[in-house]
Amino acid sequence: MADDGSLIASATAEHQAFTSERTAWAEQDPADWWNACQQAVRSVLSQSGVQPGQIACIGLSGQMHGTVVLDNDGRVLRPSIIWCDQRGEEQCAWINQTLGARRLLDLTCNPALTNFTLIKLLWIREHEPHIWSQVRHVLLPKDYVRFCLSGEYAIDVAEASGTLLLDVTNRCWSQELLSEVDLDAALLPGVFESPEICARVTEQAAQLTGLAAGTPIVAGAGDQAAGAVGMGITRPGTVSAAIGTSGVVFAATDRPALDPKGRLHTFCHAIPGRWHVMGVTQAAGLSLRWLRDLFTVNAGTESWSYERMTEEAALAPPGADGALWGPYLMGERAPHMDPTIRAGLVGLTASHTRAHVIRAVMEGVAFSLRDSLTIFSELNVPVEKIRLGGGGARSPLWRQIQADVYGGAVEIIAAEEGAAFGAAILAGVGAGLWPGVDDACDQAIHAIEDIPCRPHIAKLMNERYREYQRLYPALRSLISQPGL
């Protein structure tokens, strides 16, 4: 990113999505992230023509909640249990019994969920004592990459909010919670505000990446907070709806806005002195990826592009002629907080086509995000403007579906790099290019398109949404035992 906030170059490097030994398990090898990081950094340096010594500061972002455990020498002890893993249901129950659900909300502003880092640590402690006895450091995914870059153990307050170990109100580790669950605070990294410089690139990392040794690194933020910064969601009123692998509806607040029912997450924002609330759909873009892979295998054809899928989905009418998708491939977070719920595609007839099914999946994801917007209204969190992000913002059809489902115009912004763009903004603030994150976003982020909702289609989507709200309890009633 240039000094004026414009994009100079971007690069990506792929790695394995995740492995799943058992139903609802999900793990990744942290070495894959670091290897991909090296490739992407070298590529972006090559594309841009920027000299390493010209880089003022580095920002970091990444998937939240993942658990990386290291020994005293910084060696990874086991694959990372990542954000969508659902194995920790018993550990959630134990915390609720030990502290009480209300007390946990008071301490951390959040309920016990299988996604959170603490739950994964408790699972390792119980089921892998031979590993646990060697654990000396705990990091999250982007912070492991920082460790590889700098040798420093650090985390930002926004990312730390998703561990279930942070006193979100006071922006520090909760010593009371650590005591209650018998965890040593020495395992945890130092906590910093997102634009704060907390590390520098080492000579070894410089050789691997092509960066200059000594380059400052800010604390950064998890993908959701950094993505919100990259979309200009810094002040109350503007809300983002981002469809990536998961889907997130995100609103900035000037106070911790606690949902007493625990349906939303209340986290520190990447902006000092601000917080945010968000609702998460576990399998948003993942639903479309699952469908793509399913059709590809069954058809024996070359892998489909998402563009091709959405072009076909546009052939089906709004409402998909009654087909309805409950996107619970990995359990669900907002608003149900149910790790054992399973997905469902219902309302099919012999006249339905593949186009109907694709469209039903896209609409079902939008309905799921609308659930969170409904809770925002209950909590008096203002929703004056909705900006779209992630892969769902790149598809013209999914943009229109969201406008019609949400019942109002949605905005598209110029930058498409999402969390990486937000991480670069945080780095710019850390380097002193802007006095604060608000100023940076005002200069660097611009809306380029409004997509209006179509009133006659919005009326149909309201009817379909009421049907969608009946789908979760119907699916819940079919699951007689946890884990089915």
Number of C-alpha atoms within 13 angstroms, CB side, residue 204? 6
The SS3 call for residue 345 is strand
Q: How far apart are CA 422 and CA 61, in angstroms?
A: 8
Q: Are 266 and 277 in contact (CB under 8 A)?
A: yes
Q: β-pairing, 197-200 with 216-218?
A: antiparallel
For 131-153, give the DSSP string.
HHTT--EEE-HHHHHHHHHHS--
Q: How far apart are CA 137 and CA 70, in angstroms?
A: 5
**CB of 80 closer than 8 Å to CB of 27:** yes
- Give 155's strand partners: 191
**Residues in contact with 198: Cβ distance below 8 Å, sequence separation at least 6, in sequence order:** 152, 154, 190, 192, 217, 218, 219
Q: Among residues 147, 146, 193, which one has the least CA distance to residue 166?
A: 193
What residues are annotated to the active site? 223
Measured CA to CA, the distance from residue 116 to residue 92 in angstroms comes to 10
With beta carbons less than 8 A apart as the criterion, state whether 178 and 193 touch.
no
**Would you state the structure tokens that stand for residue 82, as one six-digit string?**
């990542």
Q: Running DSSP on this structure, what letter comes out for residue 182? A: T
**Rounded distance, CA 360 to CA 350, Å?**
15
| DSSP state letters, 239-303 | EEEEESSSEEEEEEESS----TT--SEEEE-SSTT-EEEEEEESSSHHHHHHHHHHHHHHHT-PP
Fill in the DSSP letter of residue 379: T
Residues in the chain: 484
Helices vs strands, H then E, count in the chain:
18, 19
Q: Which two tokens stand for residue 94?
A: 């134990």
Rounded to 5 degrees, φ, ψ at 243 are -110, 105
Q: Are 240 and 387 in contact (CB under 8 A)?
A: yes
Residue written as token pair 């968000």: 278
